[in-house]
Amino acid sequence: MTHNYFVMVFITIASMTTMLIHFFENETLSRKCKNEFRKIALLIIVGVSCEFIGICLNDSPQNLRYVHGLVKAIEFSVAPIISIPYVKIVKIKENSKLTTYIVSGLLLFNVVCELISIFTPFVFFIDENNVYQHGSFYWIYILMYVSGVTYFIVSLLSYTKKYQSRNIATLIAILTFLGTGLQLRIINTSVNSDWLLVAVAYILFIVYYSDLSLKVDALTLLLNRKSYEHRLKKLDYKTAIIIFDVNDFKSINDTYGHQHGDKILQIIAKTIIEIYGKYAHCYRIGGDEFCAILKNGIFEKLSDEKENFDSYKMLDDFNQTFNEALSQKSKQYPMLKKGVSIGFGIYYGLYDINKDENHTDSHYSLNSVKDVIKMADERMYKNKQNSKRNTEDTSIIWGVFCILANEKIKKHLHIFPT
C-alpha cells in the first residue's frame, strides 16, 4: 500500500463525513432529499473502506481468506447500488413499475454473483496467497456498474428537461470528469482512485443540484423571479416577453382555499410549459403572475418555416392555443373557468433601428426591455378588464334570468309577495 493511496482514502472518507454533517444542518432541502444524499455518502464510505481493507488483506494469512472475499463482495455490491438514491433525488416519477422491477432484479442478481464469488471463482476470487484476482465473469460486475450509471444519466437528463434544461453545461462537465477519471484508472490499474473520483463527482452534483434549486420555483417548477431578472439583463436578441396573470385569483383562494389555489397555479404552469416550453423560457414571477420569454433564434426559425410570417399573429396563435388548452382543463377543474389574461411586447434587441424607423405597427416596440415589459403589462391588464367586464355582463344576464324565472314560478303557483 502506498502513502498516496492512504491519503486518497482519508480524503474520501473525510469529505463524505463532512457531507453527512452538512446534511444534518441543511434547512433548504427536503428531508427525503437529504436522506438520499446521506445514503450516497454512506455507500461511498462503505465502498472505499472495503477497498482499503481488501488491499490490506492481500498476502495476509489464509485464515482471513473468507474475510477478504466478503469485503470485496460488499464493495462490488455497493458500487452499482449508488445509482438508486441518485435517481430518487431527481424524483423521476415517470419510471414505470416494470423499470423499477428490472433495475432491482439486476442489482439483486449482482449481489448474488458477488456472494458466490466468496466461495468459488466467479466474478472474482481470492487465490492461494490470499490476493484478490478478477474472475472469468468479472464482466458481470462491469455490466451492472455501467447499467447503474446509464440508468442514472437517463433519469438525470429527463430531470433537467423537466426544469427547462438548466445547468446542462455543468451537468455535462461533471459526467465528463467522472468518465475521464475512470478511463484513466483503466489505463493505469495501479492507481486506486475510483472511489475518490466518485466522491468528488458526488460533491459536484450537490453543487449542481443546489444551484438548480435556487433557479426554480418550488411550487410550479418553473424558473423563478431571480432567474427571470437575470435573463432580462442578458437579452440582446429579438424576442417576445409574454405576461400571464390569473383572473380574480384572490376569489379562488377565498372560495376554495389556498391548497386549491396552489393546485391551480401548478396546472397553469404545466400548461404554459406544454404550449410555450419548446419555444420559450418560462417563469413564475409573482404570486399568480407568469412570464414566457422566447428563446434566441425562435423568430428567425419560425419565419423560415412559415410563409408570410407575422410576429404578432404567431404570438396570438400561441396565446389562443394556451387559452384553448386551459379551457379544456377547466372541465375537470372548475376553478380555472375564470381564465388567465395575457399580454405581450416584442423586443428588437440589437436590431438596427434605422431599418425599422418607419415601422408604425403598434404591436412592435424598438424601446428598452423595461418599456416592452410595460407594454406587455398594459395589454395584459386591458385583457383582464375586458374579461372582468364580460364576466360581470354574464352575471347580470344570469341574475335577470333568475329573477324573471322566479317571478314566473311564483305566478304559476299563485304565490305573491306580501
* Domain harbouring 322, CATH code: 3.30.70.270
Among 152, 189, 184, 197, which Cα is nearest to 171's? 152
Task: Confirm whether 99 is domain-assigned.
Answer: yes
201 and 254 housed in the same domain: no
- Which three cell numbers mark 21? 454533517
Question: How many distinct structural domains can be found in the chain?
Answer: 2
Question: For position 92, what pLDDT does the model report?
Answer: 56
159 and 255 housed in the same domain: no
Task: Confirm whether 418 is domain-assigned.
Answer: no
User: In 3-state terms, what secondary structure has residue 240?
Assistant: strand
* Domain harbouring 138, CATH code: 1.20.1070.10
70 and 141 housed in the same domain: yes
pLDDT in tens, 72-101: 999 999 999 998 899 888 875 555 677 778
- Which three cell numbers mark 2? 502506498
**8 in Cβ contact with 193 (< 8 Å):** yes
268 and 157 housed in the same domain: no
- Start-to-end CA span in the chain (Å): 105
Task: Note the Cα 29 to chain centre separation in Å.
Answer: 14
Task: Confirm whether 411 is domain-assigned.
Answer: no
Question: What is the residue whose three cell numbers read 396565446?
Answer: 319
Return mean pLDDT, the chain: 82
201 and 323 housed in the same domain: no
**Is 50 exceeded by the pLDDT of residue 408?**
no
Amino acid identity, position 361: D
Structural domain of residue 344, as residue ranges?
A: 225-405
59 and 187 housed in the same domain: yes
State which of 191, 215, 239 marks the end of a domain: 215
Confidence category of residue 351, pLDDT binned at 50, 70, 90: low
pLDDT in tens, 11-54: 999 999 999 999 888 888 888 889 999 999 999 999 999 999 99
Amino acid identity, position 262: D
Tell me which long-range contacts 50-58 makes (C-beta under 8 A, separation of at least 24): 50/74, 50/75, 50/78, 51/9, 51/75, 51/192, 51/194, 51/195, 52/9, 54/132, 55/1, 55/5, 55/192, 56/1, 57/130, 58/130, 58/131, 58/132
